[in-house]
C-alpha cells in the first residue's frame, strides 16, 4: 500500500498500534498534524521527508484543499506515504475530504485505526465511558464548526439525556456557550464534567467538577492546550 492514513493516538508513542509504528518507520514521506508531532516523529527514518499540515484554532494553517492536493501529488510518485492524524483518524479529523480526493484520482490507500483521545481521557481519569443501566449510550460531538463557533445544529435533547455520556472534541472555547444552552434546556447544574488536557503527554492535566465549577475553571485558564471535555453520569 502506497498511502497510509495512520492514527497516532493522543500523543504518547506508547499508545501507537504496532501497525502504526511499522508504517511510520517505513515511510518515505510523512504528512503530520500538530498533535501528531513531537516524539512520534522520532520513529521516522532519517531519510524521510516530514511535512507539517496541521491546523490549530487561531493560527495560520494550510487549507484543507491544499492538504488534499499535496496528498494526491505525492501519492502519484509511488513513494510510501503516511498521513498522520491525531487520535483516531475517523473522528473529527477531516478524513473524508482527503480520501475523497484520493478516490477521485484513483489512488489506493489504507486506514489504520488508533486510540481516540476520548478513550485515553477516560482511562487517565480512571472511569468507564459506559455502564449498565446508568449510561448505555456514548456520543461524540465537535465543539466548533468550520468557522470556529459552536455548531448551530446540535441535538440538544440528546445532549441533556441524563443516561448518556457525552464527549466534546475541541470544545474548550465554546463550552461556556454550550453549557448555558443546555442548562436553559434542563441540564442539571450539578452534572459532573471532566476537562482532560494534553492527554498521555507530560503536561497531562485533568480537572473534574460540576458544570458551574468547570465554567469558572475555563474562564480562568488561558492555555490553548488540546483538550476533550466529558460530562455525564459516570463522573
Confidence of residue 138 (pLDDT cuts 50, 70, 90): very high
- The reported pLDDT for the residue numbered 57 is 52
Region 14-29 average pLDDT: 97
In this predicted structure, the answer to whether residue 61 has a pLDDT above a threshold of 80 is: no
The domains located in the chain, with CATH, are: 3-112 (3.40.1010.10), 117-231 (3.30.950.10)
Q: What global pTM score does this model have?
A: 0.92
58 Cβ neighbours under 8 A, 6+ residues apart: 148, 224
Per-residue pLDDT, averaged over 40-48, amounts to 97
Residue 179 has pLDDT above 90, yes or no: yes
User: Rounded mean pLDDT of 57-83?
Assistant: 87
Q: Give me the helix-helix angle, 175-184 and 211-220, nearest 10°.
A: 160
Phi, psi of 210 (to 5 degrees): -75, 170
The predicted-structure confidence for 107-135, as pLDDT tens digits, reads as follows 999 999 999 999 999 999 999 999 988 89
Predicted local distance difference test score (pLDDT) of residue 56: 56
What's the whole-number mean pLDDT along residues 143-154? 89
Q: Under a CB-based contact definition with an 8 Å cutoff, are residues 172 and 227 in contact?
A: yes
Amino acid at each position: 500500500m502506497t498511502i497510509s492514513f495512520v492514527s497516532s493516538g493522543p500523543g504518547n508513542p506508547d499508545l501507537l498500534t504496532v501497525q502504526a509504528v511499522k508504517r511510520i518507520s517505513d515511510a518515505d514521506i510523512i504528512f503530520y498534524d500538530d498533535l501528531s508531532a513531537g516524539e512520534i516523529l522520532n520513529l521516522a527514518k532519517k531519510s524521510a521527508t516530514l511535512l507539517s499540515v496541521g491546523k490549530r484554532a487561531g493560527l495560520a494553517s494550510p487549507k484543507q484543499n491544499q492538504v488534499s492536493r499535496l496528498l494526491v501529488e505525492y501519492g502519484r510518485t509511488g513513494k510510501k506515504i503516511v498521513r498522520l492524524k491525531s487520535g483516531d483518524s475517523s473522528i473529527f479529523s477531516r478524513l473524508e475530504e482527503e480520501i475523497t480526493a484520493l478516490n477521485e484520482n484513483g489512488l489506493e490507500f489504507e486506514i489504520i485505526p488508533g486510540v481516540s483521545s476520548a478513550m485515553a481521557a477516560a482511562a487517565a481519569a480512571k472511569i468507564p465511558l459506559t455502564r449498565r443501566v446508568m449510561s448505555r449510550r456514548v456520543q461524540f460531538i465537535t465543539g466548533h464548526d468550520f468557522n470556529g463557533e459552536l455548531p448551530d445544529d446540535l441535538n440538544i435533547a440528546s445532549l441533556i439525556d441524563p443516561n448518556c455520556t457525552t464527549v466534546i472534541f475541541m470544545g474548550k472555547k465554546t463550552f461556556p456557550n454550550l453549557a448555558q444552552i443546555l442548562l436553559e434546556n434542563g441540564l442539571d447544574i450539578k452534572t459532573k464534567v471532566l476537562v482532560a488536557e494534553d492527554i498521555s503527554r507530560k503536561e497531562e492535566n485533568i480537572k473534574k467538577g460540576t458544570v458551574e465549577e468547570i465554567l469558572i475553571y475555563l474562564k480562568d485558564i488561558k492555555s490553548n492546550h488540546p483538550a476533550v471535555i466529558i460530562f455525564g453520569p459516570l463522573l
